[in-house]
Amino acid sequence: MQHNVLILDFGSQYTQLIARRVRELNIFCEIFPYNNPPKDLDSYKAVILSGSPFSVRAADAPHPDLSEIRGKKPLLAVCYGAQYLAHFSGGEVAPSNIREYGRANLSYIKENELFLEGVSTGSQVWMSHSDTIKALPTNAIRLASTKDVENAAYKIEGETTYAIQFHPEVYHSTDGKQMLENFLVKIAEVPQNFTPNAFVEEIVAEMKEKIGNDKVVLGLSGGVDSTVAAVLLNKAIGDNLYCIFVNNGLLRKNEFQSVLDQYKDMGLNVKGVDASQRFYDALSGLDDPEAKRKAIGNAFIEVFDDEAHLLTDVKYLGQGTIYPDVIESVSATGGPSATIKSHHNVGGLPDFMKLKIVEPLRMLFKDEVRRVGATLGIDPELLGRHPFPGPGLAIRILGDITPEKVAILQEVDAIFINGLKEHGLYDKVWQAGAILLPVNSVGVMGDERTYEKVVALRAVESTDGMTADWVHLPYEFLMKTSNEIINKVKGVNRVVYDISSKPPATIEWE
């Protein structure tokens, strides 16, 4: 994946959105923390500096070393990046007299390459900052203004360096994607060659070279990510790939057998392992979300270690890790962004397990994984499956885990998901599921008082899981589903619907 774009992360909540917009232009990009950039910059044809929650005037403000970038590679500085260049290069940054947050419109544009195509006066942009650029840096010329922000964009003469105070990556900057295209394609001349076909060719060649004749054991889950990872690895190493599908006792209703049947005709070597009790034992007495995730991750590792020992000369553990997993687990590859949660398939293996990790999808977002899967000829119905968390129903049962609670949630989930399919709603939803809450509520059934469980239904729409909005499911459907759950699932007497978006909420409750 040559001709990369490097994004230096200063901790902005929008950094991942920059990457998404760049990828949508069929240009490969990577996020690195500002204080730990890649040592070899030769393959990067352009660099983007992200925003940040910090002020450039603060003593602990991020201070990157741009000596090998500025003036040597095309550079686009966004928000904090624009203020950073101004503050440390002869300009002035000061607290803003007004709150510069939200929608704004470009009131002035100087004719230039960044706004040459598809951007005009009146274009809506998104501001999110408390400081403002009072004076431009040395040798800079103003390119754009809004009513309240005089220095909304500038260019440094003698360099291919551009800076914008607003966020082109967010939805509310209506011409933001066009600005990124103008910078990356027209100015930096980055080839738009990051396509599913190109990715398959390159990753298969890379896996062949890395793995050689060694064997790989891979855990299948029945989901999109592990399936595409398996087919890619199978394409690279063939019969040297050994797939294992583990029943952790936390799957959806009847999922263990249906997934095994699903892979039967795909040419994959799959073995089913029922380790339900092992996972229940590992989870016994745990109610903290992180403790549950880690216990499940450790149990998975132990199961795979046992299975790997039944094979000879296995050197690698294959995983379906994708880019959002990595970003959320390790704060954008070690940068200043806040860690949201740990993922059971991210972070390496313990010393006792001698397998090395191979992750063919590690740099892809979910929608990119689906496009790669389509290129590989995987069944569209399988590719259209909703994401399902690696820890399974354990993180949809708030509190401690018991087989009885799992059985209740499996029944509730089956009614909800099957209902979505029967009413033609499944493909209109990105992810859906049910959550068993650690509260009981009073109810009345057959003139008798009940004190039973509450379940929450969750359905969101998204493209990559980084942001999501709740789906406006028809009231008639929700009413029918609620009635069916309460009437058919013993132990549940109340159903609620989650109408939270991400952010501020996450898609899963734990």
The catalytic site residues sit at 79, 167, 169
Q: How many CB atoms lie within 10 A of CB 185?
A: 17
Q: With H, G, I as helix, E, B as strand and everything else as coil, classify residue 348.
A: coil
Amino acid at 130: S
Q: What is the DSSP letter of 238?
A: G
Work out whether the CA dihedral 74, 79, 81, 83 comes out positive or negative.
Answer: positive
- Sheet architecture: strand order including 161-164: 29-33, 4-9, 44-49, 75-78, 161-164, 153-156, 140-146, 92-109, 124-135
Work out whether the CA dihedral 96, 99, 102, 104 comes out positive or negative.
Answer: negative
Q: How many CB atoms lie within 10 A of CB 266?
A: 16
My answer on whether omega of the bond before 503 falls inside 30° of 0, hence cis, is yes
Residues 6+ apart with CB under 8 A from 446: none
| Residue 115 near residue 144, CB atoms below 8 Å | yes
Q: With H, G, I as helix, E, B as strand and everything else as coil, classify residue 26.
A: coil
Amino acid at 445: M
Q: Which tokens go with 398?
A: 């708030």
Report phi then psi at 5, rounded to 5: -115, 130
Which of 435, 431, 434, 421 shows the shortest CA–CA distance to 467? 431
Give 479: exposed, middle or buried? Use CB within 10 Å, 0-12, 13-18, 19+. exposed
Which of 149, 426, 264 shows the shortest CA–CA distance to 163? 149
- Cα 112 to Cα 22, 77, 144, 145: the distances in Å are 21, 16, 10, 14
Q: What is the DSSP letter of 489?
A: S
What CA–CA distance (Å, rounded) separates 495 from 97? 48
Amino acid at 42: D
According to the 3-state scheme, what is the secondary structure of 65-130? CCCCCCCCCCEEEECHHHHHHHHCCCCEEEEEEEEEEEEEEEEEECCCCCCCCCCCCCCEEEEEEE
